[in-house]
Each structure stands twice: as structure tokens, then as C-alpha cells.
Structure 1
Amino acid sequence: MSLRKRLSASSTSSRSESPLVFAAAPNSDSDHWVGAWQQVLARDLIDSPVVAVDADTTVEDACDLLLSKDLACVAVNSSSGTSPSAGPYQGLFDFSDVNAFLTFAATRHKLASDELREKPRIQEILAAAKEGKVPVHLVSNLSEKNPLETLPYDATLLSVMGVVARGAHRVLIQAESPSSEYLGMVSDNRLLAWFTSYAQQNAAFLRYLTNPLSSLALPSMYLYMSVVAARSADTVLDAMQLMSEQGVSTIAVIEEETGNLLSAVSVSDIGKIVVPAQSNQILSTPLHQFVARIKEPDGATDGVDKFPVYSVSPTTTLHYTMQKLLATDSHRLFVTDDPALASPVFPPTSTGSLTGIVSTVDVLSLFARIAQLPDIDPTRMQRHRRASSASGSSSSRSSDAGSFGGPRSRSSSRTSLGRLSVSGEGKPLRSSVSSLDSFQWAERAPGERR
């Protein structure tokens, strides 16, 4: 049973989306808002350039680029011989894909042969690894949460919102015709930041944002089963596999003893800490130690921990929630019970204070419904990813405890995908994503000898 299923099964209460009457935006005000939103051009919201890599670039080199340039995502050029009408890019590659690839590398020996045969793309990855390198085009959107979405030059903010409110994290904006180039990307965080800024210019919209989360139609606000969480004693590999299976970029880490929220772990943490690690020992590190490692760069000032808190309560306003999503650079926050609310609307859970989640996509989908955009379903993409994972997953997690295999290197951005130890003899894994060694190192428990 997966970690998420184990946690959910322990809950004695089933949460609905909310029995409260939802706060609605005044029609006259919302018409004015939507009219203003319609005037904003998507190209004016671009927050990052399109950085591209060739289709045959190794996954290791593509990951190095993400780390060395501090990029959230790179585009993958179309393969040679592809029809020009298909566009210059065939997909995207980000840390979710890195996490999905490393999870597969670490667990593929547990998959039944018939499962592997049912997945042609996985077979291609294995074949490429045997040949000596895995090209990035095979791993592009391996996570199934990083689709290539594009919009034309004259697209508006509403067009972007219609895409991201269905689960995509970013949209590429085309240059003016007849150019086939792209001007850049608009991220969901950029869109959220725009709405936060717009509230400072429109008093009626700001008043709407002061509604508490408990009064808004947020899909997972009261749905405890939507909380994807691991225990603090579980391992980094457990967390990686959980994110991959459940199609999320962030999971909660709960205290083993109290069941309360300890922190959160994201695919970016995996990319920035696990990938540059010197040893595969890191995969068996307990999450409470890994969280401490994540907090390390933030440090503390005057004894006050500066690491961001990834939780809100049902009484938190939507405006503050948006600000916290932006400040923590997170795609989701975890909703915890508010002790001041003694109503049966908020029954306690046997796993602690977690009650639900609120994500960037949830918030943007709320605005998309105000704009009456069609086909808005913020959970659809995640449901597809989970169904895809469930249909082909019969693997079990390793729960061996371990420790870091040495200090993280700060002298080079070269990834551990090229340095992880294959065996106790210290043989370096030159390219954990470019050769079959990337799978061999993960097939043994850390410290195991042949």
C-alpha cells in the first residue's frame, strides 16, 4: 500500500468539498474585472525566456543546465526529420521529469517484465541506457505533468488562465507571424503574481480576496484524501516515488509522533539536493534529515527559523494565501485545522492537523470560473497521471533508513547523475542518466556489496 493510501486509510472521517455557502463575486464587479483581464496580453506577462536543448542532449547535460542556469524548465528541440509544421519544440523538461526518471531508475528492477513490455517509451529508455546515453527527448514530460502548451502572439491573460487552470504550469508564447520563434514562457506563478498586483489597483477585487478559504469553492480545501504526505521516518526514495506516482510536485512531511505537518519536499528539492549528491546513500536518508538539509541554506537569524511555512488554515484569507504561495515559490500549501473552529465542519483527523490542500491551480481555476471560461477542471491532469501510474505500478518502496553519503558538493554543478557510487568500491557513476549504470547503482540498497 502506498504511503498516501496508508495515511488516507487511517482517517476516520470522509471530507466533502465544504458544506459552507461559497462566497461569490458580485456580478457587476466581476464583469468589470473580466473586461480588464481581457485587455492584458499574454506576451506582457512573460517571466522567462525559452531555453532550448537538442533532442539528443543527454538527460545529464539537460539537468546540468537546469541547475547551472537556475532554470525551472527547458524546451526540447524537435528531432531532425520532423515536419516543420510540428513546430520547433517537441516537449519540455523540468525537475518533475528528473524526479520521474530517477524514481524509475531506482525502482525499475521491481517492475514485472510484462509491465515493462506494456510501456514502449520505458523500453526505449532502457535500450538507450544500454547504448551508453539516454537522450532528453525520451524523458521529456516523463512525469506527465509538464506538457508543451503554446499560445499565439495575440493571446490574452484569459487564454493563459484557461490553460494553467487545467493543470499546466507554464505556457509558451509565439512570436508575431510569420516567425516560428517563441518570445518566452508565462508561468502559473507569474499569473498568480499578476492577480495579486491587480488587487492593489482594484478595491472590489481586493475585498473579494479577503474572503477566508473556508468560504471559497476550492476543490481540495476539505478533501483530506487529496493530501499526499509521507512520514518523517520515510526515505527520500519514498518521497520521490510518491510524487511520481501521485503526479504532484510537492508532498507534505508529517511528524511520526504527533501527525502534525513538519515541512514539505518538492521535485525542485530532489533536483537541487539529490541530483548533485556524491552517493546513492542519500536515497535512504530519512525525510526529517532531508528536510533539515533543505532548510540549511536558509539558516536562522536570532534563533528564528527563516525556512518558509507551507501551511494555511481555513480562516486564512485568499489574498494572504496567494502571497504565501508566491513567497514560498510553492505550487501548493497544506491546510491545517484551525483550533479556533470547534464546528463539526472541521472534524479532527487521526493523522494530525492536515485537512486538505490549496494550490496555485486551485486559485487560478477560481478566477477562471469567475471569467466563465469553459472546461475548467484543475484536477483532471492529476487524475490522469494517477490513473496512468496505477495502471502500471506494482512496485513496493524501500524503507531502509540511511544517512547522507558525504557532504554535498558546492564546487561544481555537475550532477550526481554522473557521480553516484555504483558499488562499495567507489566506482563512479559517470552518467547516471546516460548509461545503464544509472540503473545498476539503484538496484542495490545503499552500502550493499556484490
Structure 2
Amino acid sequence: MQTVEQGIVENGTLDALLNTVTCGELCKSADPMLNKAGAKPKHPLCLDAELSVTEGCEALAANKISSAPVYDAEKGGFIGMLDYRDLVAFVLSVLHKVPRDAPAIDAEMEVTDIVKRALMNKTGVPIKLVSNLSRENPLVALPASATVRTAVEEFSKNHVHRLIVLEPDQGASHFAGILSQSTVAGLVASSVGKLAGSLNPKAKSIWPTGNKTLEDVGLVGKEVISVVSEDTVLEALYMMHEHKISSVAIVTREDGENDLIGSISMTDIKAILADRKGWRRLYETCYDFFASMRYEQGLEAGGDDRVPLYVVHPNTTLIATIEKLAATRAHRVWIVSGSSNLVGVASLSDIMPLLLT
């Protein structure tokens, strides 16, 4: 079987590589356990539908992932994905912060049930009632034999960050793993970036679009959704929910410029759902919350900064941006001109369609 590393050398273009490597192969190559002698690959995480919201959030945080499929034993199958968008939608629903446009009766009853149960016990709502509450993370599955290009097309079309990979098993299919945008970014970085270039002099010509700057590909100058430091965390979550994005920048606005000073993402919801007192943090200012998260996670990491601000510039190339995203496992980097003037954002979701060009 052709290895991922061999693919780019033998096929000559990024498109050829994406059409050669399968989702199953990429999932396996991304599993660090496979690189250890005698080690078994880690079993892919799926969540029991009866877990509470708090338990679901803890599982995502403990495994350092932002979403996982939800399995309902009673129904005998997967019923959806749980991600931080759903948890944000849950928080906003409980606080009656999300306006709804005449949903179907069943949907209205479900949301009402969630709110009633949550008001009595915010930690006792099962994730089967919250999964897909945001309506922004559909469950998309691909066979392990599907090409990575097919996965990129699904990322772009369905606006999802992760796909379920299924392998055939005696006439049926079983859950083999999850393929993320980050894993695809890692493949591209290792095949076309500087490391690949040191091994293969032709790597730079494999994907001409990758040599264009962020300004060239249209990621500079678009409106960036942001909050000011005095806005509350609840307002930031509402902005993310309304605009269907997973992070907002925290800025100071002076002299017509937006100076980037921090950011809040949907994954920060874990700090709010961690305990009962966490709910009070919804009313902290965005900057205080960002600063406290930076401090607390730095302590947990033995002093390492685990809430950094990753930035690039308008003249940064697209492949250099992908390399940075792959190296940091971040989902987005902020584009700044000068030292801190925010002029754009480059997310993995922005980049996926560009891989097809």
C-alpha cells in the first residue's frame, strides 16, 4: 500500500495526492500510537447518548477534541455529533438568549424540555437532547475507501470540521475513526510545506495556490466579527452563535483601527460548564475571561502559555499559514497588519475550498 509520504512524490500534484490517499489511510497515519512499536491504535471516541451535558463537555475537554459522534444504544446507531457549538446553543437556550423563528412543533417541545430540565438541574440534561441543537454540525459519514479529496469536498459543502469514517465489517459498517480538517492540514503541510521542500525540491510547484499570499486569495479585508474587552462572555457566545462562527476576536477600537488583544472561542465553554460556579463567568468581561483562562491554563501546563494568540500577516503565504495551523493544532489564525491591527482571519474552513483550486 502506498504511504502518505510517498504519495506526493509519485503523483506530482496536490490534487493527485488528495485523489490517491484514502480517508482510512489518513486516519491511521494521524494516530500517534501507530508509530510506537507494539502499541495498539487508540479506539476512536464516541459518546453515550445518556451522558449529561457536563460529562459530554468533560469528555471533549479530556480528549482535547471539539466534537464527537453520539451513539444511542436504544436506537442502535449514531444520532448526531456533539460539539461546542451545541453546548453554546444549550447555554443560550437556558438563558433565553437565542431568538427562534417558529420551529416545528417537535423541535419547540424539545427545546422547551431542555430549558425546563436545565433550569432545575443544569448538569443533568442528557447530551441526546443537546446534540445538534446548534443545527450547525450535521453528522457526515464517509467510507474508509473514500479519497481525501472527497472529504475536503464534504468539509466545504457541509461546513463541518470533522467527518465520521466507517469501515466495512461482514456486510455492515463499523466506526473506524474521525477525520478532521486539522488532519488534512497536516497532510498538506507535510507534503507541500518547508519540510517537504527539503526532501523534495519540486514540492513548491506541487500546489501553486499555496504560494499565494493571504491577500491574494481574498482573506484580507473581509469583516471580522469581534467584541470589545468590556463586552461580556455571554455577548461573545451570542455573537458566535448568531454568525455561525467558532471564535471571536477581542479588540480595542481606536483611530479607526481594531487592535487585537485576545480571543474567545466556543471551546472555552468547558470552563463555564465545568462546575456550578462556572455559569457566573458568563457575565465576566471578555478580556478578564481571556486573561484568567490564559493564567489558569498556563498553571496547568507548568507555566507554558496554552492560550496564545496565533497571528499572520497579509503577505504570509497560504502554505505558511497552513503549516502554522498544523503545527499549533489551531483552527484559525488572525491576520494583522503592523503589530496588531486586525484585518482578517484565516480558518481551516476558509482554507478547505482553496485546497481544491
Normalising by structure 2, we get a TM-score of: 0.77
Q: Who is 1:187 aligned against?
A: 180
- Tell whether the 8 Å contact from 1:206 to 1:319 is kept in structure 2 after alignment: no
What is the CA-CA distance between 1:78 and the residue it aligns to?
4.1
What is the CA-CA distance between 1:38 and the residue it aligns to?
1.7
Letter in structure 1 aligned against 2:126: P
What is the number of equivalent residue pairs in this alignment?
314
Pairs within 5 Å for 1:15-34: 32-34=13-15
Call closer, same or farther: CA 1:153–1:118 in 2, change over 3 Å.
Answer: closer
Does residue 318 of structure 1 match 2:311?
no
Match for residue 139 of structure 2 among 144, 148, 151: 148
Does residue 65 of structure 1 match 2:59?
yes
Letter in structure 2 aligned against 1:160: A
Does residue 51 of structure 1 match 2:45?
yes
Call closer, same or farther: CA 1:117–1:92 in 2, change over 3 Å.
Answer: closer
- Tell whether the 8 Å contact from 2:54 to 2:273 is kept in structure 1 after alignment: no
Gaps of 5+ in 2: 1-9, 32-42
Match for residue 228 of structure 1 among 206, 209, 225: 225
What is the CA-CA distance between 1:118 and the residue it aligns to?
5.6
What are the Cα deviations for residues 354-374 of structure 1, in whole angstroms up to 9, with x where unaligned? Answer: 2222111222211113xxxxx
Letter in structure 2 aligned against 1:316: T
Aligned-partner SS, 2:227: strand
What are the Cα deviations for residues 96-123 of structure 1, in whole angstroms up to 9, with x where unaligned? Answer: 2111111221234x858xx566674243
The structure whose RCO (Cα within 8 Å, separation 6+) is larger is: 1
Letter in structure 1 aligned against 2:48: D
Letter in structure 1 aligned against 2:291: A
Instruction: Provide the rounded CA distance (Å) in 1 between the counterparts of 2:245 and 2:55.
Output: 24
What is the CA-CA distance between 1:151 and the residue it aligns to?
0.7
- Tell whether the 8 Å contact from 2:165 to 2:175 is kept in structure 1 after alignment: yes
What is the CA-CA distance between 1:185 and the residue it aligns to?
0.6
Aligned-partner SS, 2:291: helix
Match for residue 356 of structure 2 among 321, 345, 368: 368
| The structure with more strand, counted as a fraction of residues | 2
- Give the superposed CA RMSD: 3.0
- Tell whether the 8 Å contact from 2:93 to 2:115 is kept in structure 1 after alignment: no
What are the Cα deviations for residues 11-33 of structure 1, in whole angstroms up to 9, with x where unaligned? Answer: xxxxxxxxxxxxxxxxxx99733
Q: Who is 1:418 aligned against?
A: none
Instruction: Provide the rounded CA distance (Å) in 2 between the counterparts of 1:356 and 1:30.
Output: 34
Q: Who is 2:70 aligned against?
A: 76
Q: Which has the larger radius of gyration?
A: 1
Pairs within 5 Å for 1:134-173: 134-166=125-157, 167-173=159-165
Q: Who is 2:240 aligned against?
A: 243
- Tell whether the 8 Å contact from 1:92 to 1:140 is kept in structure 2 after alignment: yes
Letter in structure 2 aligned against 1:270: I
Instruction: Provide the rounded CA distance (Å) in 2 between the counterparts of 1:204 and 1:78.
Output: 49
Instruction: Provide the rounded CA distance (Å) in 2 between the counterparts of 1:264 and 1:338.
Output: 18
Pairs within 5 Å for 1:73-112: 73-78=67-72, 80-81=74-75, 88-108=77-97, 111=99
What is the CA-CA distance between 1:91 and the residue it aligns to?
0.5
- Tell whether the 8 Å contact from 1:264 to 1:310 is kept in structure 2 after alignment: no
- Tell whether the 8 Å contact from 1:165 to 1:368 is kept in structure 2 after alignment: no
Letter in structure 2 aligned against 1:286: T
What is the CA-CA distance between 1:304 and the residue it aligns to?
10
Call closer, same or farther: CA 1:145–1:326 in 2, change over 3 Å.
Answer: farther
Of residues 167-176 and 190-199 in structure 1, the stretch that sits farther from structure 2 once superposed is 167-176
Aligned-partner SS, 1:259: strand
Q: Who is 1:290 aligned against?
A: 289
What are the Cα deviations for residues 59-104 of structure 1, in whole angstroms up to 9, with x where unaligned? Answer: 233223223444432211246357xxxxx21211011211111122
Call closer, same or farther: CA 1:164–1:99 in 2, change over 3 Å.
Answer: same
Does residue 359 of structure 1 match 2:331?
no
Call closer, same or farther: CA 1:365–1:54 in 2, change over 3 Å.
Answer: same
What is the CA-CA distance between 1:204 and the residue it aligns to?
3.8
What are the Cα deviations for residues 157-203 of structure 1, in whole angstroms up to 9, with x where unaligned? Answer: 11111111332101111112423211101100000001000111554
Normalising by structure 1, we get a TM-score of: 0.62
What are the Cα deviations for residues 329-373 of structure 1, in whole angstroms up to 9, with x where unaligned? Answer: 33222222358xxxxxxxxxxxx822222111222211113xxxx
Aligned-partner SS, 2:293: helix
What are the Cα deviations for residues 261-306 of structure 1, in whole angstroms up to 9, with x where unaligned? Answer: 11211111222x222254232111111111112211237x9x9977
Letter in structure 2 aligned against 1:361: S
What are the Cα deviations for residues 118-177 of structure 1, in whole angstroms up to 9, with x where unaligned? Answer: 674243132255467533222112223322111113111111111113321011111124
Gaps of 5+ in 1: 1-28, 83-87, 340-351, 370-450
Call closer, same or farther: CA 1:353–1:69 in 2, change over 3 Å.
Answer: closer
Aligned-partner SS, 1:206: helix
Letter in structure 2 aligned against 1:198: S
Aligned-partner SS, 1:172: strand
Of residues 318-327 and 94-103 in structure 1, the stretch that sits farther from structure 2 once superposed is 318-327
| The structure with more helix, counted as a fraction of residues | 2
Letter in structure 1 aligned against 2:167: A
Identity of aligned residues (%): 25
Letter in structure 2 aligned against 1:367: L
Call closer, same or farther: CA 1:293–1:140 in 2, change over 3 Å.
Answer: same
Aligned-partner SS, 2:80: strand
